[in-house]
Amino acid sequence: MAQQARYEYTFVRFGEQWIQDGDIARDDYHHVIQEHAAMGWKLVQIFAPRLNASEQYYELIFERIVSPDNAE
């Protein structure tokens, strides 16, 4: 029987300042995605709760398969 793949997740949060900075913010998240992809992470979701008008953030959620060497 084939063993089922196991995954691990990491979360990168960007706050209000990041949202308000426009082009700088876009460059930042592009860099974060490329950096994580180079380490084997796959972007699976962007979580963007709307808490209220003055509080908002984005969280990039990445996953990757746990290597057999790192499995518990």
Per-residue pLDDT of the chain (72 residues; tens, 9 = 90+): 667 889 999 999 876 655 555 555 666 788 889 999 999 999 999 988 876 766 677 899 999 999 766 555
* pLDDT for residue 8: 97
What was the pLDDT predicted at 3? 77
Q: Cβ(46)–Cβ(27) under 8 Å? A: no
Euclidean distance between CA atoms 35 and 18, whole angstroms: 18
